[in-house]
Every structure is written in structure tokens, then in C-alpha cells.
Structure 1
Amino acid sequence: MKLTILGGGGFRVPLVYGALLTDRGEGRVTEVVLHDLDDSRLYAVARVLAEQAATVPDAPTVTATTDLDEALRGADFIFSAIRVGGLEGRANDERVALAEGVLGQETVGAGGIAYGLRTVPVAVDIAQRVARLAPDAWVINFTNPAGLVTEAMSRHLGDRVIGICDSPVGLGRRIAKVLGANPREAFIDYVGLNHLGWVRGLRVAGRDELPRLLADPDLLGSFEEGKLFGTEWLQSLGAIPNEYLHYYYFNRETVRAYREVERTRGAFLRDQQAQFYDEMKRPDASALTAWDRTRAEREATYMSENRETAGAGERDADDLSGGYEKVALALMRAIARDERTTLILNVRNQGALSVLDADAVIEVPCLVDANGAHPVAVDPLPDHATGLVCAVKGVEREVLAAAENGSRTTAVKAFALHPLVDSVNVARRLVEGYTEVHPGLAYLK
């Protein structure tokens, strides 16, 4: 089976390949094609993968190419993890937004909109090529903003594109752990959009264990989300929000913290990864050792400003291992081998969440089999959550419209309607600022 990885020179590709190395079952991936626009990054990542595979018999073969059509032809699965504009673009997203006093995070608020506006046209082109060159392939999208990009691609690929994210998986694992439950045996009642969802229940053997957690302040305050949001707020919500909702619930404090740091997250990752790729130019350097060291530092500093604002301290060691690559592997296995499973995924709504239309991409538990991912019908959200979900989905639709028609006016509307942008005038200045620093937004007229 052939897997093509778009963004194959990306830093986290070894996580995906590492997961593939653990799969020895029939119908496993035997061929990996890395595609990237940057030859040097492809070379660096290929070196890491070669060291990973050195002691593994029958490891999937790895080839690299800068030709997109060549990479897509004959693919059974296509994993999309591109970053349009690179980490320099992410750093600019943060800088322009923070200068206006609003959040510049890569998936949430102004930064997420800017990232979406320059990514959607590229993702749509990829989807159209897949439909033409590999119509039977399944596309697994990890490109951010994941829900928005998945919805853009679904307009050309239908249900053959599925978005994945490790945030709900990590949240469910943490909740199960503090409750003494096996995450593999628990059903996580999670619903929302990507980076905008809530765990409303965790059922083990048919019994919902979440009320027990919410009633115990010590248990509730013992894991990441309890430390981040505070036990009183979680008890007030009656649910456990995705960590990205910290940007909404504690927006003022988070923006202030981000404005005070010496380097934003994007600037930190830009500089850190530049060092890694530079090190890979030395033939005597151990690629896997350098990658492991860089990844450990990357994960340890994840959402550090939010944790500092909340007084949450350092992340637990168990939370530093990622997880999206395991979701991707489980998804591929379920489809390729008809190994039926339940995963939290980004898929078209199809009536699962009544407040949104059938084509809106949402993030919910899905039953996965050889025919793809099928969203499980979920109970309605409470009013406060419904309001946020509908507002952000409305913004996503404006982003998609702006990307399709190239309208600068529609782009301004997308920024102005976001709950974390507090003025139409700010929205206008954001569009001006982003078009000045991003060549990829020159299409907005």
C-alpha cells in the first residue's frame, strides 16, 4: 500500500513513519512517498527516517520528490501536512495580530483566519489534483486550520477527505487516566469544531464517569485541563473543553502574555527548526538524535504562555508524546482492513449536529470501516457552546468564500465576525497588515 505525505519535509513526519514501523499486519503501508517544495528539507527528513528504519526488517521504502503529480499517482492514502508560507508565515501571523491587540495563534482568531486564507487555495488545488490523479485515494488532512481546510477539500473530494487532530485524543486519554479507566475501552462524548470542542461524557461499560470527575475538585485539578481552566470554571461548564478554548475563555490574559514574551511560538519554532535543518547539512550529524532532541524541546514548550497565565506549571511527561500519528495509523488500518473502530475525526456533519448543515465539517466521534468515517449523532450543545460553534463556522464560511472569489471585502468580513476580533476597523487593518507580509494573499482584491 502506498502512502504519500504532502509536506514530506516537515518536522513531524518522523512521527508518522515511526507509527508505520510498528504496523506488521497484512495490508500495511509498504511504500512512502515524501513530497515537499524544498529539496533540502526532504533530504533532512529522509535521513531521520533512514535511521528510524535501520533496525526494522521490511520497513516501508521511502522516496522523495518535488513533483506533486508524481507523488499523487497511485497513492492509496494521502496524508496532507503542508504549511503554506512556512514558519516565517506563522510568525508573521502572530506579529500582525498582536500589534492590533488580538490573538495571532495559528488556528484560532486572526492568525487562524490569515493562515486559512493563504492555505485554502493551495488545498483546493491539491484536492482537484487528487480527484483527477488518484480518485480512489483517501486523504487524511492534518493541515491547519484542520477543520476549515478539510471542509474546503471536501467540496471536491466528498467524504474521501477526513481531518485528524491529536487534541481530542489527548484530552480523552487524560480524563480516562485520572478516572482510572482504560482509554481504549472508553467512549468519549466529544463534539464541536476543530480546536473548539467539549468532552461532555466519558462512558465506560455504558456508565458515564464524567460526573464523578466534575464532583471531585482534587481529581479535576490534577490534570492539564483542570490546571489550565481551573476547577470552578469546569464545574460551571459541566464539561471539559479542548485546551484551545483557553484562548476564548481567557483571551485578555492570553493576549497580554503573548505580547510580553521575547519570541512568539511561531518565531521560536522557526528559529529552532532552522537550527535542526542546518544541522542536517552536516553528513556526520546523527539525524535521529538531533530530531529527538529538537522534538522534546518543542513539545515541552507547547502552549507555555497559556499555562503560565493559568499558573498550570509544566506539562506532564505523558502529554509530550503527541498522538496524531496514532490516529492516522488507526484510521488507515480501519479503512484498509475494515478493522472497525471509533475515532474522533473532522468529517462532514451529515445531520449529526442538528444546528449545522450537512456539509459543515465538525469534530465528533465517528464509526470507521472500509467505507470511511461515519459521524455519530450527538446531543445538542448548550446555548453558550452553540453560539461559539455557529459564530466560528460562519467565519470559516466567509474565509472559504473569500478564497474562492478573491474578495478583500469578504476577507475583512471574516475577520470582523470572529468572536476574538473586537472591531471592524481592526479587521480592516488586519487585512492590510497580512497582505503586506504574505505574498500568498495577493489574490485578494
Structure 2
Amino acid sequence: MRLTVVGGGSTYTPELIDGFARLRDTLPVEELVLVDPSEERLELVGGLARRILARQGHPGTIVTTNDLDRAVEGADAVLLQLRVGGQAAREQDETWPLECGCVGQETTGAGGLAKALRTVPVVLDVAERVRRTNPDAWIIDFTNPVGIVTRALLQAGHKAVGLCNVAIGLQRKFAALLGVAPADVHLDHVGLNHLTWETGVRLHGPEGEDVLPRLLAGHGDTIAADLRLPRPLLDRLGLVPSYYLRYFYAHDEVVRELRAKPSRASEVAEMERRLLSLYADPALDEKPELLAKRGGAYYSEAAVDLAAALLTGTGSPYQVVNTRNDGTLPFLPDDAVIEVQAAVSRKGPTPLPVTPLDPLCAGLTAQVTAYEDLALRAALHGGRDRVFKALLAHPLIGQFAYAEQLTDRLIAHNREYLAWA
């Protein structure tokens, strides 16, 4: 089996390699190709990847290249974890929206739109190269904003599934609180990427006992603290929102916090410098502890599980993925991309039925879906007016004056990445 990682020079990659090594019985990878435009990063990350496999006795081969066409040729699956513009662009995404009093974040709001505009054309180019060389390959997208990027891939007719680590992280936390194995916890996880709610937490599969009320009663303070949301909010909702909902439920508080401290991008950039220095040590043959602070926890487990289901029909029978709605949420268009539990096989994901969403959640989901549709149009066709309409539609913006100012700032900070600007 041959897998390709686009953005293989990412400091995330050793987490992925560690998962491939540990879970070799689930996904027997023979060759893993890391492709990245940075030869320096490839050398450091590729070297550590080989040492990790050797330490764990994995017989697979690591190939590094900056030739994308060579990298995807013959691949059974292609994992996308690229970042157009690097941490420098992320730094901008997180700062200029704050000038207008709006959340500065790389996956939602104005910063998330900027990332989508930079990313969608690049991802579609990669996908076309995959289709030319190996049309049967699956594309697994971990690149943010996952919902918009996956929708672009699916609308273009690619065999694509979106993946996020939020659900698997919550599964692991809930399992620890309940004192059970993670595999015994099934989430009734529903919404859009980075806009989801756990409407149930079931033991032993989708038909199992719903223990969410017990979790909230016994561990509500712990869960609320992890989400940085008030405990009374969780009690009144009767469900667990993703921590990304804090940008919506506590917008002004978050803006004040972001203005008062260095950006997350600057923290991550410094962390990446330290990680790359560690990766250069020829004695290092395991992922360093610092990597856990980088983000992407449990990404490797989720990626291996999904790839195994798509390529071999093994792995967990139910997984949280980003895929076409196709009537699952009846108030959304069929071609919307939703994030839900699905039965995953070689044929791809099939969303499980979901309990009708409370209007509080359904309304926000519908509004953000409309924004994502407008954002994708802007990414595909360009134009200031399309950017403005997407910003005006976003519930974190929604005002004419803000949308006008943010449109000008977005274009000014991203002109080099926008072919139409």
C-alpha cells in the first residue's frame, strides 16, 4: 500500500508517522511518500520519520520529494495537510480582523475566509493531478477550513472525505471521564466542521445507552472548563458544543482576550522552530513531547482509521467525517458538507441518521452553510463583491460596515495568493 502526504514537511507529520507505526496491523503501509516544497523541512521530517519506523520495527519505506506528480503517482490515498502561506499568513488571518472588532481565527470568520481563498485553488490543482495519475485514489482532507475544502473537492467530482480531530478528542475525553475504552464511546456528533454539537454520547454503538445526561450531571464543570464555556450554558443546552462554538457564544469576550495576548500563530511559529531543531537531532527516534502542544491530538489515529476503512474495509465501522449532506440534515442542500457519524467502507462514507436538531443549532448551521456556499464561490471565481457577500453572510460579522472594512483588509493581505486581485 502506498500513501502520499501533501504537506509532508509539516511539523505535524511525526504524529502521523507514529500512528502508522503503532497501528500497522490496522493499516499495513508499505511506502509513505512525503511531498513538500521545502527541501529543508523534508530532510528534517523525513529523517525523523525513518527513525520512528526503525525504532518501532516497521518495515515500511519513507520517500521524500518536492515533485508532486511523482509523489501522487500510484498512491492508494492522498492525505492533504498543507498550509498555503505558512504561519506568516496565519499570523495575518489572526490579527487584521481584530482591527475591526471581529474574531481573528484561521478557520472561521474573516480569517477563515482568507484561508479558504488561498487554499481551495491549490487543493483543486493537487486533486486534478491525483485524478490524472490515479483516479481511484482516495483524497483525505485535513486541510482547513475542512468543510469548504471538502465541498470544493466533492463538487469537482473527486473521491474525497474530510477529516477533523475534534470528535476523536472529545471521544477520548468522555471515555476517560466514564472509565471506559474509547472504542466503547459513540458520539451523536452533528453539524459542520468546527461548528458541531454532541447531542448524545452512547455506549457500545449508535443504538447504545445515551449517557450524555450523566456526563453533564457528573462532569459538567470539567467539560465546561475544557471548552472555556460557562457550565450553566451546557446545562441549559443539554448538549456539548465544540470548543469552536466559543467564538460564537462568547464573541466579544474572545476578541478582548485575543487583543491582549500574542497570536496563536506566533506561538505556533516559535514551537515549530523548536520542533524542527529537535527533529534535526539524529538521536531522536520518537515524536517529542513538545509536539502534543502543537495541536492535532489523535490526528494519526483518526487518519489511520479512516484510511483503513476506505482502502481495506477494516477499521472502526463508524467514524466522524466531513461528507455530502444528501438529506441527512433536511434543512440543508444536498451538496452541503456536514460533519457527522458515518458508516465508512471502500465505497466511502454513508452518514447515519441524526435526531432533528434543535432550532438553536439548526439555525446557526443553516446560516454558516450559506456562508460556506458564498465562500466557495469567492474561492472559485474571485471578485471583491463575492468576498464581501461571504463576509456579510457570516454570523460573526454580519454588518455592512464590518464587511466593507474586512473585504479591503482581506484582499490587501492576500493579494499575492489571489489570481484575480
- State whether TM-score is above 0.5: yes
Shift in CA distance, 10/350, structure 1 to aligned 2, threshold 3 Å:
same
Aligned to 1:202: 201
Partners of 2:62 and 2:211 in 1: how far apart?
A: 44
Shift in CA distance, 267/384, structure 1 to aligned 2, threshold 3 Å:
same
Instruction: Provide the secondary structure at the position in 2 that maps to 1:5.
Output: strand
Q: 1:326 is matched with which residue: 301, 315, 322?
A: 301
Aligned to 2:11: 11
Shift in CA distance, 382/412, structure 1 to aligned 2, threshold 3 Å:
same
Q: 1:344 is matched with which residue: 288, 306, 320?
A: 320
Partners of 2:110 and 2:149 in 1: how far apart?
A: 16
Check the 8 A contact 1:349/1:361 in 2, yes or no: yes
Check the 8 A contact 1:199/1:241 in 2, yes or no: yes
Aligned length: 417
Aligned to 2:21: 21
Report percent identity of matched pairs.
Answer: 35
Instruction: Provide the secondary structure at the position in 2 that maps to 1:432.
Output: helix
Q: How does 1:129-208 map to 2 (within 5 A)?
A: 129-158=129-158, 160-205=159-204, 206-208=208-210
Partners of 2:239 and 2:146 in 1: how far apart?
A: 23
Shift in CA distance, 403/75, structure 1 to aligned 2, threshold 3 Å:
same
Check the 8 A contact 1:44/1:277 in 2, yes or no: yes
Of stretches 196-205 and 84-93 in structure 1, the one that deviates more from structure 2 is 196-205
Instruction: Provide the secondary structure at the position in 1 that maps to 2:33.
Output: strand
Aligned to 1:395: 371
Q: 2:351 is matched with which residue: 371, 375, 388?
A: 375
Shift in CA distance, 18/227, structure 1 to aligned 2, threshold 3 Å:
closer
Partners of 1:27 and 1:210 in 2: how far apart?
A: 32
Partners of 2:61 and 2:197 in 1: how far apart?
A: 39
State the one-letter code of the partner of 1:336.
L
Shift in CA distance, 227/56, structure 1 to aligned 2, threshold 3 Å:
closer
Q: Is 1:358 aligned with 2:334? A: yes
State the one-letter code of the partner of 2:209.
R
Q: 2:362 is matched with which residue: 386, 408, 411?
A: 386
Of stretches 26-35 and 385-394 in structure 1, the one that deviates more from structure 2 is 26-35
Partners of 2:179 and 2:55 in 1: how far apart?
A: 36
Check the 8 A contact 1:225/1:240 in 2, yes or no: no
Partners of 1:267 and 1:341 in 2: how far apart?
A: 39
Partners of 1:440 and 1:285 in 2: how far apart?
A: 37
Check the 8 A contact 1:172/1:188 in 2, yes or no: yes
Structure 1 position 297, deviation (Å): 4.2
Structure 1 position 247, deviation (Å): 1.0
Structure 2, unpaired ranges of 5+: none
Partners of 1:421 and 1:26 in 2: how far apart?
A: 44
Aligned to 1:248: 248
Partners of 1:276 and 1:176 in 2: how far apart?
A: 30
Q: Deviations over 1:91-147 (max 9, x none)?
A: 011111111111111112111111111111111112222222210101111000111
Aligned to 1:295: 291
Check the 8 A contact 1:273/1:294 in 2, yes or no: no
Length-normalised TM-score, structure 1: 0.89
Partners of 1:337 and 1:175 in 2: how far apart?
A: 29
Shift in CA distance, 167/26, structure 1 to aligned 2, threshold 3 Å:
closer
State the one-letter code of the partner of 1:265.
R
Partners of 1:358 and 1:179 in 2: how far apart?
A: 36
Instruction: Provide the secondary structure at the position in 2 that maps to 1:208.
Output: coil
Partners of 1:363 and 1:179 in 2: how far apart?
A: 24
Check the 8 A contact 2:3/2:33 in 1, yes or no: yes
Aligned to 1:69: 69
Check the 8 A contact 1:351/1:377 in 2, yes or no: no
Length-normalised TM-score, structure 2: 0.93
Check the 8 A contact 1:198/1:241 in 2, yes or no: yes
Structure 1 position 444, deviation (Å): 3.8
Partners of 2:214 and 2:179 in 1: how far apart?
A: 12
Of stretches 199-208 and 345-354 in structure 1, the one that deviates more from structure 2 is 199-208
Aligned to 2:79: 79
Partners of 2:70 and 2:117 in 1: how far apart?
A: 27
Partners of 2:39 and 2:417 in 1: how far apart?
A: 24
Structure 1 position 41, deviation (Å): 1.0
Partners of 1:35 and 1:119 in 2: how far apart?
A: 17
Q: Deviations over 1:279-310 (max 9, x none)?
A: 65x6x564557x615314435xxxxxxxxxxx
Partners of 2:376 and 2:302 in 1: how far apart?
A: 27
Structure 1 position 192, deviation (Å): 0.2
Partners of 1:142 and 1:362 in 2: how far apart?
A: 15
Q: Deviations over 1:9-47 (max 9, x none)?
A: 001011111111123338611101111111111111112
Partners of 2:290 and 2:412 in 1: how far apart?
A: 32
Instruction: Provide the secondary structure at the position in 1 that maps to 2:222.
Output: coil
Kindly report the root-mean-square deviation, in angstroms, between the aligned alpha carbons of the 2 structures. Answer: 2.0
State the one-letter code of the partner of 2:379.
A
Check the 8 A contact 2:187/2:341 in 1, yes or no: yes
Partners of 1:174 and 1:102 in 2: how far apart?
A: 31
Q: How does 1:230-245 map to 2 (within 5 A)?
A: 230-245=230-245
Instruction: Provide the secondary structure at the position in 2 that maps to 1:222.
Output: helix
State the one-letter code of the partner of 1:377.
P
Structure 1, unpaired ranges of 5+: 300-320
Instruction: Provide the secondary structure at the position in 2 that maps to 1:221.
Output: helix
Instruction: Provide the secondary structure at the position in 1 that maps to 2:329.
Output: coil
Aligned to 1:32: 32
Structure 1 position 278, deviation (Å): 5.5
Shift in CA distance, 108/88, structure 1 to aligned 2, threshold 3 Å:
same
Partners of 1:347 and 1:294 in 2: how far apart?
A: 32
State the one-letter code of the partner of 1:11.
T
Structure 1 position 441, deviation (Å): 3.9
